[in-house]
Chain A
Amino acid sequence: MEKVYITGIGQVAVGEHWDQSLAALSSKAIRAALKDAGDPQPEIVYIGNFLASSISHQANLGALVCDAAGLHGLEGTTVEAGEASGAAALHMGYLAITSNMADCVVVVGLEKMTDMVGDEIEAFAAQSGDTDFEGMQGLTPNGMAGLLMQRYLDQYHAPCESFASFPITAHANGVNNPFAMYRKNVDLDSYGKAPMVSVPLSLYDVPTFADGAAALVLVNRKLLRDGQKAVLISASEIATDTLAVHDRADPLAFDAVHISTTKALEKAKLTRDCLDLFECWDTPSIYGMLSLEAGGFAERGRGWQFATLDNLALTGRLPVATLGGIKAHGFAPGAAGAYQVLDAVQQLRGEAGRNQIASAQVAMTQAISGAAASVITHILRKM
């Protein structure tokens, strides 16, 4: 099996890019990534996208993106796994290189949320859940997170404030990231006063939709040049659960997180304490909490005791959202899984600036779609 290396990264800051199309956003990220990689010649482009067909009425992104990036004639196709689409595209790129199908692949996570405004956005976002039996009851992704958080608070007698560690950590780390949408600290006081979105979930517990594009260049060993800053992908694992949460024997178990994490660690031949950082799905904050438990970092029902500001900080036991996470980056759904990997690559290259984790060697990233119906875990190592 060929080894897979990330040699280039490029991103557009997540934001409300009213003046930029899907094509413009993707080509900026791809060109930046190729330049960063030393301009190799890619053979395949995988585009992670969730909502272009619904919001921009645009399908066939393979042709659109290759054309826009000046990559005429290349193999290009969309990979969709709800909000985890960016990570799913990386998985496909990983497969193409491990299987020796290609020497060089470009992966881009891409989402354009601002081509439409209004209530339709909520309805489209709900497509990552079960449309017939969840969406048709008026349930949205934030509503689903509210249901799980309510149950968690009741079942484990956890205080609401324990969830604040996720947004407070993400915002603190976003301050120093020029690509983050929110670069201001929040504190426990403002968390407590935030307006409710889906009781008991408040504004700071949920992500903010925006546009974004994040690209990665993958190569095999043959194309790796001496002295090149490269990061090895040690594992890439997708796991699924029932689409509808009500079909699960234990809705708080997040089985797909458990399966995906366990398989990835086995594949990379690593244990949890080898990880220097974890780019978890930090928002909605209940998903961050359940990920820590299902991933085996905290005991069931004790995640809220583990998820202290100290433990999740850059110098803590398990640093998360190290450059702002999804919360401070802004949430471009189909791109978020790619942004997580970009952040981890910056840490492993030692390019995370004031947020640099000292001697970071190993990082795990985890993208979640729906209520953990699809979960995609990557483990990355410094070369």
Chain B
Amino acid sequence: MEIPRHWRLQKQRLALVGEVCPHCQAKIFPARDVCPECGGEAKTAFKFSGKGEVYSFTTLHSVPAGFEENAPYTVALVKLDEGPIITAQLTDVGEREVKIGTPVEMVTRRIRQDGDERGMLIYGYKFRPVLRMS
């Protein structure tokens, strides 16, 4: 059981909360308290919009323990509209073709299960292709 770790990361995972640098306005995700752009202290919380585009992607057939139920799945580097890139699974892709540059948005999904059927369920962000308005 890794309860403390998952508790510590819940704001990042469930609400995409990072930081904004008060000195140079750079947006930071994940939070690191020091601005990678200007080196200044940056502890101001900032909630990301969850919008972005695919920077790169790959489909994994051989997956680690805890992720079997979704295999094979696609993991992407997503460039958020606010600047940072994050690593996340793509979901709800269906028959759509994913390409570099495909617009995506954050959704909350079950990420993995710790241990057996009584193990902890861990939820967090995944990204899906932006749904077109009908």
Contacts and interface: CB of A to CB of B under 8 A. Distances in A.
Contacts, number: 107
Contacts of A201: 58
Contacts of B49: none
Contacts of B122: 136
B58 A119 contact: no
Contacts of B5: 132
A142 B60 contact: yes
B65 A118 contact: yes
A123 B58 contact: no
B55 interface: yes
Interface of A: 118-120, 122-123, 126, 132-140, 142-143, 146-151, 154, 196-201, 244-247, 251
A139 B60 CA distance: 8
A140 to B, nearest CB: 6
Contacts of A197: 61-62
Contact of B112 (A138, A200, A246, A247): A138
A251 B64 CA distance: 23
B15 to A, nearest CB: 15
B56 A147 contact: yes
Interface of B: 5, 9, 12, 30, 36, 55-68, 70, 73, 75-77, 84-89, 100, 111-112, 122, 124
Given A134-B87, A245-B87, A247-B36, A196 B61 contact: yes
Given A147-B75, A201-B58, A137 B89 contact: yes
Contacts of A133: 12, 30, 86-87
B56 A151 contact: yes
A245 to B, nearest CB: 7
Nearest to B5: A132
B64 A135 contact: yes
Given A119-B68, A133-B87, A134-B87, A140 B62 contact: yes
A142 B5 CA distance: 25
14 contacts: A119-B67, A123-B65, A133-B12, A135-B64, A138-B64, A143-B75, A146-B59, A147-B56, A147-B77, A150-B100, A196-B59, A198-B62, A246-B85, A251-B55
